[in-house]
Amino acid sequence: MSVLLVLVAGAVSFYVIVYYSVFRGAKCLSSVKLQGKTAIVTGSNTGIGKATALDLAKRGARVILACRSKERAEAAAFDIRRESGNSQVVFMQLDLASLKSVRSFAKTFLKTEPRLDILINNAGVMGPGRTEEGFSMAFGVNHLGHFLLTNLLLERLQQCGPSRVVTVTGLLYRFGNIDFPLLASKKDLVPGQFTWHKFQAYCHSKLCNVLFTRELANRLQGTKVTCYTLHPGVIYTDLCRNLSLWLQLLMMPFAKLFFLDPEGGAQTTLHCALQEGIEPLSGRYYSNCVLQQVGAKGRDDALAKKLWEYLDTIYAWSAPPSGNTHNVPDNTTLWDEAGVPCLHSQINTAHLQ
């Protein structure tokens, strides 16, 4: 009996040590208040996105829940308003799997909201399917949609500066690669529909997030907009809803013991969005609320620039609504077919200052 007790005590001690040293995340220590500020959080009807939006609302921010499902987002907005006591929490429809929807969201936001101080690119999926434009769902939602959204809102962010763009990536970016010929053909970054292939596609999209943030920081040097990317921790959220049932059941016991809850998973996002004094570290990567060095692929400036320039070719820029392009310089903002400002591939961000 005594041997059994010793074994149980040892197992419990081991669990406590591992949990607190490896799995339990740090806490955002910022006490910044956000009255008069506006934040957008994508994918904020559940998981760490909802937890992030709740914290921002408690600080007094006007929070836009940018989500695909109206029913789920409005329910989340109701919960957040009730718990925070902040009535300035609203839903705006955004489907990141449709570039048309992204443009429509940006157009509506820019017409109805005078400020944007914090943009949090949080939404993410791991699963099959294709976007409206034919790209794999992981690449389209996790990266392509956020790339366009950020570019469409950059001028408003600059006008309201100092402001921040925070993109949630993950440690799995280390397993990612970018195959430009495959991207150009709108094929998956990896072929096949097995769980392993979905996992690989997710990793590739997260590497794109890291590189995007790095190049965005380079392009915004000297402006009042800073950007950060982060690993939120090991979290079991609705991100895994597209995994097979047997895999979800297999993960559940381990998740209950070791994974962070959504509130814990939101802490590094909040740190990047709110912590004072990190402005000189724009473009960098955080984990557990501290600065981390990214792997070699994640700090490849040439690859980051190539990816950005490739993504620019995806979008068909058109003339301003007036149809008069004669007085539009090559390095200025053009307009897309929805009447929304778009960032031209040759943009020089000096004009944003």
Instruction: Assign residue 311 the CATH number of its domain.
Output: 3.40.50.720
Structurally, how many domains does the chain consist of? Answer: 1
**158 within some domain:** yes
Rounded Cα distance, 240 and 48, in Å: 13
- Candidates 273, 277, 248, 280; CA nearest to 118 is 273
Q: What residue numbers bound the domain in which 110 lies?
A: 33-316
Per the DSSP assignment, residues forming a β-bridge with 335 are 318, 341
How many other CB atoms sit within 10 Å of the CB of residue 229?
A: 29
285 tagged catalytic: no
The answer to whether position 204 is within a domain reads yes
pLDDT by residue for the chain (353 residues), tens digit each? 565 554 544 544 454 444 544 455 689 999 999 999 999 999 999 999 999 999 999 999 999 999 999 999 999 999 999 999 999 999 999 999 999 999 999 999 999 999 999 999 999 988 778 888 888 888 999 999 999 999 999 999 999 999 999 999 988 888 888 887 777 666 555 545 556 667 778 889 999 999 999 999 999 999 999 999 999 987 665 445 555 666 666 666 665 566 678 888 999 999 999 999 999 999 999 999 999 999 988 899 999 999 998 888 766 432 233 333 333 233 333 333 333 444 433 333 332 22
Q: Is 291 helix (H, G, I), strand (E, B) or coil?
A: strand
Choose, from 173, 202, 285, 286, the residue flagged as catalytic: 202
| 27 occurs within a structural domain | no
Residue 71 lies in a domain: yes
Q: Is position 344 within any domain?
A: no
Q: Which residue has the tokens 């440690």?
A: 171
pTM for this model (two decimals): 0.80
Q: Is residue 341 part of a domain?
A: no
Is residue 334, in this structure, part of any structural domain at all? no
- Decide: helix, strand or coil at residue 42: strand
Asked, for residue 349, whether it belongs to a domain, the answer is no
